Chains A and B, each alone.
Chain A
């Protein structure tokens, strides 16, 4: 079973930052936090991952709390093409997907 909890859905205005929360209170010391997204009828796409430190790449930023029990994915300037299901996953080599958050970006 998935070990993370996420809101079922969120809305975001186009051009604004989208902040997607995730709780992973059972995360162990060697488990990473991964974020993937899946646009309708496509394969999941990797966004970002982190262990302890905050991470940033060309797609997003990942903020991990100091106790590592929760994190936030930030899409700095959401566009309509960012509408997707966003999955937060704790783990290592194997990914156990939960239900994810449906992010709807609206104009």
Chain B
């Protein structure tokens, strides 16, 4: 099975900071990687699909990138509403696998 390793597992940042979250794949998955924002009591919200594509309605301060087997979700200027757990998902092959998540908090 493909393993996705997210780092860091948690972090705190200040309003306006540039924040980057990473997801490393154990095998090649092409660009078949999505990012989700998960807040308590709500379903996960798609943020990025196919590694670099912004999902509908997602603010432009979010972006996705890829370097080899490393995938990143970047927030250019952190806002308070961005505090959440962020998960990556590979959908290149079954079984689909999620990363363990990164908890993002405000400093």
Task: Judge: A and B partners, yes or no.
Answer: no
Chain B residues within 8 Å of A, Cβ to Cβ: none
Chain A residues within 8 Å of B, Cβ to Cβ: none
